[in-house]
Structure 1
Amino acid sequence: MRKILVVGAGQSGLQIALGLQSQGYEVTLMSNRTADEIRTGRVMSTQCMFHTALQHERDLQLNFWESQAPKIEGLGVSVAAPGSWAEGPAARAIDWLGRLDGYAQSIDQRVKMAGWMETFAQRGGQLVIHGAAVGDLDYFARTYDLVLVAAGKGELVQMFGRDAERSPYSEPQRALAVSYVHGLGPRPEHPDTEGVRCNLVPGVGELFVMPCLTTSGRADILFWEGIPGGPLDVFNGVKDPAEHLSLTLELMERYVPWEYARATKVELTDAGGTLAGRYAPTVRNPVGRLPGGGLVLGVADVVVANDPITGQGSNSASKCAAAYLSSIVERGDKPFDEEWMRATFDRYWNTAQHVTKWTNAMLAPPPEHILNLIGAAGELQPVADRFANGFNDPADFENFFYDPEKTQAYLVEVSGAGAA
């Protein structure tokens, strides 16, 4: 029986640990917090998992909360008319809703990670509550067949060198601010459809609104992404959750009043329901070299960290876990050497590269052909639907998004089909 150590108990670390456990591997999982500390702590993320990522969980029978979580059936885009907020609340220039082929869901990671961690322990897995340092891994690398590093923050990440060719940004491109709330009203335009709402405010930032399941039941996430130094970049140093929510709502009233209109009665889900921060999107070398010569393999956002503007973090973590799990099982009794580690990462990069390209494109000011595409989606439902489903399969954006000629050809084709 092969012995594997997974360091980090997030989406990817736990999904891999539980998957390997179900295949008969001897798995040790290291977490710096207990399940109870996670469950009662601060929110860790926004997360909206689309069909493919959810299916990876179903395949491992880990979809414990699927019947309780809201089923997100649409993805809407609104664009504020540039400069319309100068004199008063902003006006909408664009507003549409694309339909998802398979529903998405958002489950607060405090609920999921705590539940999965308890399941891992109940099934006989060895759970070690300890924040791992490089020195610890140096020791463990000699006693395990494979060490996977799935803890995306702290000193362990520094073992994996930045891949400059794949990392165009060296600084954070957005200031992030999250609030989990109860009491948000429905969108009057589509009162019966649970949807993720992407509100784009040109030159200022974005507000995302999504229904989720949290520790206290159904809730909604309000998530600002502000251009650094701009009017949304005001959450740094705000420690009081009530002040954080108040700031969130003030900014909504000015820049996205159509969303603010349904948020006048909201309150935070709990004292840990806010989060703020920023980080530079980075792709790293997947193999970490320990001082004693041992090798460790980086997982998910340890090696590919994208800005959350495209909502891909937990999706990518799930896809990475699925790819790594297959590679480990297929390896059989052969050594997990450096060549295997790089090939395993490349298998994940086949999908992750599309996420990174799309996310980095969305962080930049949109070129004219993208504005035309987003505008056309308001008139042509197939365009809205295809854009929405790109969140599940970002590889499709290669076919109609980046190249102005492909975008134009696609719009002509859809317009012609509509006319016919």
Structure 2
Amino acid sequence: MRKILVVGAGQSGLQLALGLQSKGYEVTLMSNRTADEIRTGRVMSTQCMFDTALQHERDLQINFWEQQAPKIEGLGVSVATPDAGRAIDWLGRLKGYAQSVDQRVKMAGWLDVFVQRGGQLVIHGASVADLDYFSRAYDLVLVAAGKGELVSMFGRNAARSPYDAPQRSLAVAYVHGLGPRPEHPETEAVRCNLVPGVGELFVMPTLTTSGRADILFWEGIPGGPLDVFNGVKDPAEHLALTLELMEKFTPWEYSRAKKVELTDAGATLAGRYAPVVRNPIGHLPGGGLVLGVADVVVANDPITGQGSNSAAKCAASYLSSILMHGDKPFDEAWMKATFDKYWFTTGKPVTQWTNAMLGVPPEHVLNLIGAAGQLQPVANRFANGFDNPADFDSYFYDPEDTADYLAEVASASGASEASVASGASSAE
């Protein structure tokens, strides 16, 4: 029986630990908090997981909240005008539903299950010195804790990390009492509201500790009008600021949020971090090696909602690589190959798309977003790209590819090029 240490009890660490446990591995999990501390603590993220990532949970039979969580069937994009109107407003339909489960619910639940199934849980904030000691007793050490001292073992890959500073300031509030969008009152959907030159507001249904809720999530360009949450400690003040900005920049969302209340005392979160890709292998002082997992080594801005999706895909990819390796040593060559498999299938496409969305959109991307308001197949494909970001490679980045794709869809749908051009021009 091979012994594996997993450090970090987030989406990737717990999914990997439970997956390895189910395959007969002797797994020790290190978490800096107990299940109860996680459950009663502050919200940690804005997770919305799409069908492929959800399937990895189903495959391990750890999709315990699938029946209770809202089934998100669409993803909508709105583009604000300078006078707070809407230049663009459309809803793409997802092939398979997405879901969001508050990580306080999921991680606490998974942690309990891991222990119930006989896993060894160590409640301790791990240091490099701790890992140096523990590594001698384990066949493999996986680091899935994306903050703190441990991350310093994984050097920044400058060639894959174009940004060295945060590109957005982040502000999250979980609320009860949000009304439906009047255009599609029957459809649970993620709403992406783009405010050019200012930032983005995301609204998504979720399941939290107190049941069905919604997440209000501002991403502000640093130094801009949304960058005002730093130092705001009072949850009520955080919510008031969130709503004030909604009223000013996205009044169509504010109109359904006038009666919202925070779900609980820990329902707000604010911060910022620089997107980064790191080298996947950490070298311990005593000569041992550790392998970084998910956002320890590929941390993207949440603008494309890929964090928990990438974490689930990374955990599934690593689990497959471990199982296929049998009883051979987990050496540096294996670690590199294991990360490379994840990088080229998931990490690279996600990083390319996310970094593109952080910049000022070029004209052909504006054309694409505008045309999606006229051509439902374009809206649907864009929405489903959140599940499979690699699909953007064939039509999103190159102006000629975009033009060819739009012409092809317009022709197939019988739409005139003039009507598509009209929709595209309103996005500019």
TM-score by length of 1: 0.98
After superposition, give the CA deviation of every residue in 1:127-147 in whole Å (9 maximum; x if it has no partner): 000000000000011110000
Partner residue of 2:423?
none
Aligned equivalents of 1:415 and 1:21: distance in 2? 50
Count residues with an aligned counterpart: 414
> Following TM superposition, by how much is the alpha carbon of 1:23 offset from its aligned partner in structure 2, in angstroms?
0.3
Identity across matched positions, percent: 83
Aligned equivalents of 2:289 and 2:414: distance in 1? 59
2:343 aligns with one of 346, 349, 353: 349
Q: 2:164 aligned with 1:164, yes or no?
A: no
Partner residue of 2:214?
220
1:407 aligns with one of 402, 405, 414: 402
> Following TM superposition, by how much is the alpha carbon of 1:191 offset from its aligned partner in structure 2, in angstroms?
0.2
Partner residue of 1:201?
195
User: Residue 271 of structure 1 aligns to a residue in which SS?
Assistant: coil
User: Residue 136 of structure 2 aligns to a residue in which SS?
Assistant: coil
Runs of 4+ residues over 4 Å off in structure 1: none
Partner residue of 1:385?
380
Partner residue of 2:420?
none
After superposition, give the CA deviation of every residue in 1:26-70 in whole Å (9 maximum; x if it has no partner): 000000000000000000000000000000000000000000000
Aligned equivalents of 2:414 and 2:2: distance in 1? 61
Aligned equivalents of 2:72 and 2:413: distance in 1? 27
1:141 aligns with one of 120, 131, 135: 135
Aligned equivalents of 2:291 and 2:328: distance in 1? 16
> Following TM superposition, by how much is the alpha carbon of 1:242 offset from its aligned partner in structure 2, in angstroms?
0.2
Aligned equivalents of 2:135 and 2:21: distance in 1? 19
User: Residue 93 of structure 1 aligns to a residue in which SS?
Assistant: strand
Task: Spell out the pairing of 1:74-113 with structure 2 (5 A cutoff).
Answer: 74-81=74-81, 83-84=82-83, 90-113=84-107
Aligned equivalents of 2:327 and 2:194: distance in 1? 51
1:318 aligns with one of 303, 312, 319: 312
User: Residue 141 of structure 1 aligns to a residue in which SS?
Assistant: helix
Aligned equivalents of 2:182 and 2:147: distance in 1? 40
User: Residue 186 of structure 2 aligns to a residue in which SS?
Assistant: coil
Aligned equivalents of 1:386 and 1:327: distance in 2? 31
Aligned equivalents of 2:324 and 2:363: distance in 1? 46
Q: 2:359 aligned with 1:364, yes or no?
A: yes
1:286 aligns with one of 280, 283, 294: 280
Partner residue of 2:115?
121
Partner residue of 1:419?
414
Q: Which consecutive unaligned segments of at least 5 residues does structure 1 have?
A: 85-89
Aligned equivalents of 2:269 and 2:69: distance in 1? 21
Q: 2:40 aligned with 1:40, yes or no?
A: yes
Q: 2:63 aligned with 1:63, yes or no?
A: yes
1:182 aligns with one of 176, 183, 186: 176
Aligned equivalents of 1:334 and 1:418: distance in 2? 55
Q: 2:341 aligned with 1:335, yes or no?
A: no
Task: Spell out the pairing of 1:237-316 with structure 2 (5 A cutoff).
Answer: 237-316=231-310
Aligned equivalents of 2:413 and 2:19: distance in 1? 46
Say what the alpha-carbon RMSD is for the aligned residues.
0.5
Aligned equivalents of 2:146 and 2:414: distance in 1? 50
Aligned equivalents of 1:311 and 1:32: distance in 2? 25
Letter in 1 for 2:95: D
Letter in 1 for 2:16: I
Aligned equivalents of 1:39 and 1:299: distance in 2? 23
Q: Which consecutive unaligned segments of at least 5 residues does structure 2 have?
A: 416-428
> Following TM superposition, by how much is the alpha carbon of 1:352 offset from its aligned partner in structure 2, in angstroms?
1.1
Aligned equivalents of 1:384 and 1:93: distance in 2? 15
Aligned equivalents of 2:88 and 2:22: distance in 1? 48
User: Residue 185 of structure 2 aligns to a residue in which SS?
Assistant: coil
Aligned equivalents of 1:417 and 1:18: distance in 2? 46
Partner residue of 1:173?
167
User: Residue 202 of structure 2 aligns to a residue in which SS?
Assistant: strand
Aligned equivalents of 2:341 and 2:28: distance in 1? 24
TM-score by length of 2: 0.96
Q: 2:401 aligned with 1:396, yes or no?
A: no
Partner residue of 1:87?
none
After superposition, give the CA deviation of every residue in 1:346-385 in whole Å (9 maximum; x if it has no partner): 0110211000000000000000000000000000000000
User: Residue 142 of structure 1 aligns to a residue in which SS?
Assistant: helix
Aligned equivalents of 1:419 and 1:153: distance in 2? 51
> Following TM superposition, by how much is the alpha carbon of 1:258 offset from its aligned partner in structure 2, in angstroms?
0.2
Aligned equivalents of 1:345 and 1:178: distance in 2? 31
Letter in 1 for 2:260: V
User: Residue 344 of structure 1 aligns to a residue in which SS?
Assistant: helix
